[in-house]
Chains A and B, each alone.
Chain A
Amino acid sequence: DQQVKQNSPSLSVQEGRISILNCDYTNSMFDYFLWYKKYPAEGPTFLISISSIKDKNEDGRFTVFLNKSAKHLSLHIVPSQPGDSAVYFCAASDIRGAQKLVFGQGTRLTINP
């Protein structure tokens, strides 16, 4: 049972345009959501998070949107840069319950010049 799903294994975007990565979850107890970025042969790097009491959180070029009714979150990167090419994982946790991060399968983002 996959509680966090990233349905797009890969995404290709032109440099300077907006990249939108999507993530869906099934567990209504999740109340904290995160995005990680991973380069080959490195560990995941924390990017941005959002609590379920918010519907948007912004940090520089990165914005995360949360739609609780749809159990959907997205990461927007604008403008996209070549260094953004990586695998992006979304993760979710139930901070008052199991308190573990549940990861999606990842989306490989490629930024084309």
Chain B
Amino acid sequence: DAMVIQNPRYQVTQFGKPVTLSCSQTLNHNVMYWYQQKSSQAPKLLFHYYDKDFNNEADTPDNFQSRRPNTSFCFLDIRSPGLGDAAMYLCATSPDRGYEQYFGPGTRLTVT
């Protein structure tokens, strides 16, 4: 089955210790997104790649970076996690912007 895969599902990191979350897709979609979701809130878009073109949201902190080495993979790097970065991180893909996005299961990040 075509899908969006996120690893790991649960990640614990220490305050200030860099962490990388990964996402892969077998849908061959052009667009990949990273969202942050805190409990009982709407998903918040951090950035997205349209093919190789990186698009950052204006309010995404510099602490968050992303890489997309090929169509299938996209990474979220948090350079110096703070306690406020504890959240669910969702990866999504879509064939084009503005339409349905298909989400992975998410990575729950805990910062100690």
Number of A-B contacts (CB under 8 A): 57
Q: Is the CB of A46 within 8 A of B105?
A: no
Q: Is the CB of A100 within 8 A of B106?
A: no
Q: Is the CB of B98 within 8 A of A100?
A: yes
Offer 14 A-B interface pairs, CB within 8 angstroms, sorted by A. A34-B100, A41-B105, A41-B106, A43-B90, A43-B91, A43-B105, A43-B106, A89-B42, A100-B45, A100-B48, A100-B97, A101-B101, A105-B40, A105-B42
Interface residues of A (CB under 8 A from B): 4, 9, 32, 34, 36, 41-46, 49, 89, 93-96, 99-101, 103-106
Given A4-B42, A101-B98, 5 other A-B residues pairs in contact with their CB atoms under 8 A:
A34-B100, A43-B92, A46-B103, A49-B99, A105-B40
Q: Is the CB of B106 within 8 A of A32?
A: no
Q: Whose C-beta in chain B lies nearest to the C-beta of A94?
A: B98
Q: Is the CB of B41 within 8 A of A105?
A: yes
B-side interface size class: 20 to 34
Quick one: which of B4, B43, B90, B106 has the most chain A CB within 10 A?
B43
Bound-complex Cα distance A4 to B106 (A): 23
Q: Whose C-beta in chain B lies nearest to the C-beta of A43?
A: B103
Q: Whose C-beta in chain A lies nearest to the C-beta of B101?
A: A101
Which of these, B42, B98, B103, contacts A45 with CB under 8 Å?
A: B103
Bound-complex Cα distance A49 to B101 (A): 11
Interface string of B83-112 (1 = CB under 8 A from A): 000000011100001111111111010000
Residues on A with beta carbons closer than 8 Å to the beta carbon of B108: 41
Residues on B with beta carbons closer than 8 Å to the beta carbon of A96: 98
Q: Whose C-beta in chain A lies nearest to the C-beta of B42?
A: A103
Q: Whose C-beta in chain B lies nearest to the C-beta of A44?
A: B103
Q: Is the CB of B43 within 8 A of A44?
A: yes
Q: Is the CB of B42 within 8 A of A44?
A: no
Bound-complex Cα distance A95 to B108 (A): 30
Given A100-B45, A105-B40, A106-B42, verify A43-B104 contact (CB < 8 Å): yes
